[in-house]
Amino acid sequence: MSEMEGDSVTLNIGSEDMKDGSQIWWRFGKYLLAEINVNNDSITVYDDVADGRFRDRLKLDNQTGSLTITNITTEQAGIYKLNIARAESSLSSPSSKTFNVSVYAHLPVPVIFSHTCSSSSSSSSSNCSLLCSSVVNVRDATLSWYKGISVLSSISVCDLSISLSLPLEVEYQDKNTYSCVLNNPISNQTTHLDINTLCHTCADSVHCCGPTEAVIRLVLSALVGVATVIVLVYEIRSRRAEQDQAHIHTSGSIEI
């Protein structure tokens, strides 16, 4: 069973199992979660087991025997086992069922950005360098570039919290449809590429520069400004020194 975080998951048993059973147990690994005594019509839920990860999350239906885990998270993912002890009047042997529950976190929306721009507005063969990125804290996630419905490239993560990034190069005049998709076995998030917005030439320097280039240009401009001020100050001081020297020389001649 594959579920999304926040969902309510119900583990069902067959009507015949409930009818023929005299006692029913639900377990999660080594932990007993709940039990039903059909003959006494009594139910017991142990939601404080397993370090409290099931506290206020378990519901047991005494009519159907079904166990529901509410607001499920990855902490409740795993193997659930149902054991049924048959009534004495039943000829059937004791039975058991196993449920493997996988829980997936919600996926973030991938982000596409351009980290280069072409210096030539006339070259139609220039490539636009793109990067699709997403920070994931989920398992079994795959980041892929699509051209239409065809997969161009992909990268996957099994069970880590990392940043996934996937590069792509397209021509500036490319008219195809591209998209970046982050998916797991039960859901996906898609971002479509707008070539006209992200892939442009550097004819207009105001719009073409990425954050890094803009910072470099700003720093260079500041350095040029500082250098200009230093030169002006030096020239002013030099002129004043020359004037002072000339004044001293003139005063000395008059006294003689």
Whether residues 133 and 192 fall in one domain: yes
Assess if residue 213 is contained within a domain: yes
Confidence grade of residue 199 (pLDDT, cut at 50, 70, 90): confident
Residue 201: how many other CB atoms lie within 10 Å: 17
Whether residues 30 and 52 fall in one domain: yes
Please, how many CA atoms are within 13 Å of residue 42, restricted to the half-sphere of its CB? Answer: 3
- 19, two tokens: 């009818």
Whether residues 133 and 160 fall in one domain: yes
Phi then psi dihedrals of residue 66, to 5 deg: -75, 145
- 197, two tokens: 């917005």
pLDDT for residue 208 is more than 50: no
Q: How many separate domains does the chain show?
A: 3
Whether residues 227 and 162 fall in one domain: no
pLDDT of residue 222: 58
Strand partners, 83: 25, 96
pLDDT for residue 159 is more than 80: no
How long, in residues, is the chain? 256
**Which of 83, 104, 125 is the last residue in one of the domains?**
104
Confidence grade of residue 42 (pLDDT, cut at 50, 70, 90): confident
190 SS3 class: strand
Widest distance between CA atoms in the chain = 142
Assess if residue 93 is contained within a domain: yes
pLDDT digit string, tens, across residues 95-120: 789 999 999 888 889 999 886 655 54
Whether residues 185 and 216 fall in one domain: no
What's the pTM?
A: 0.63
In sequence order, what are the residues at sequence separation of 6 or more whose Cβ sits closer than 8 angstroms to the Cβ of residue 32?
A: 25, 26, 46, 49
Whether residues 51 and 123 fall in one domain: no
Assess if residue 138 is contained within a domain: yes
Assess if residue 195 is contained within a domain: yes
**Which of 104, 128, 153 is the last residue in one of the domains?**
104
Confidence grade of residue 124 (pLDDT, cut at 50, 70, 90): very low
Assess if residue 255 is contained within a domain: no
pLDDT for residue 189 is more than 50: yes
Whether residues 220 and 133 fall in one domain: no
**How far apart (Å, rounded) are the C-alpha atoms in residues 212 and 115?**
9
In eight-state DSSP terms, residue 94 is: P
Whether residues 81 and 40 fall in one domain: yes
Assess if residue 216 is contained within a domain: yes
For residue 6, give the amino acid letter: G
Residue 55: how many other CB atoms lie within 10 Å: 11
CATH, residue 97: 2.60.40.10
Confidence grade of residue 77 (pLDDT, cut at 50, 70, 90): very high
Q: Who has greater pLDDT, 178 or 93? A: 178
Whether residues 180 and 221 fall in one domain: no
Whether residues 55 and 76 fall in one domain: yes
Is the separation of the CB atoms in 189 and 107 below 8 Å? Answer: yes
pLDDT of residue 146: 95
Whether residues 75 and 38 fall in one domain: yes
**How far apart (Å, rounded) are the C-alpha atoms in residues 31 and 5?**
22
pLDDT for residue 66 is more than 80: yes
pLDDT for residue 195 is more than 50: yes
* Residue indicated by tokens 């161009």: 152
Once rounded to an integer, what is the mean pLDDT over residues 172-191? 90
In sequence order, what are the residues at sequence separation of 6 or more whose Cβ sits closer than 8 angstroms to the Cβ of residue 137?
A: 105, 161
Q: Which residues span the domain enclosing 53?
A: 2-104
Confidence grade of residue 87 (pLDDT, cut at 50, 70, 90): low
Assess if residue 176 is contained within a domain: yes
**How far apart (Å, rounded) are the C-alpha atoms in residues 150 and 167?**
16
Q: What DSSP letter does each residue of 241-254 carry, written as one string?
A: HHHHHHHHHHHHHH
Assess if residue 185 is contained within a domain: yes
Beta-sheet strands, E only, within the chain: 2-4, 9-11, 21-28, 31-37, 42-45, 58-60, 67-69, 78-86, 95-104, 111-114, 127-136, 139-147, 150-159, 162-171, 178-184, 187-192
- 96, two tokens: 């058991």
pLDDT of residue 233: 57
pLDDT for residue 205 is more than 50: no
152 SS3 class: strand
Whether residues 28 and 80 fall in one domain: yes
Once rounded to an integer, what is the mean pLDDT over residues 45-65? 88
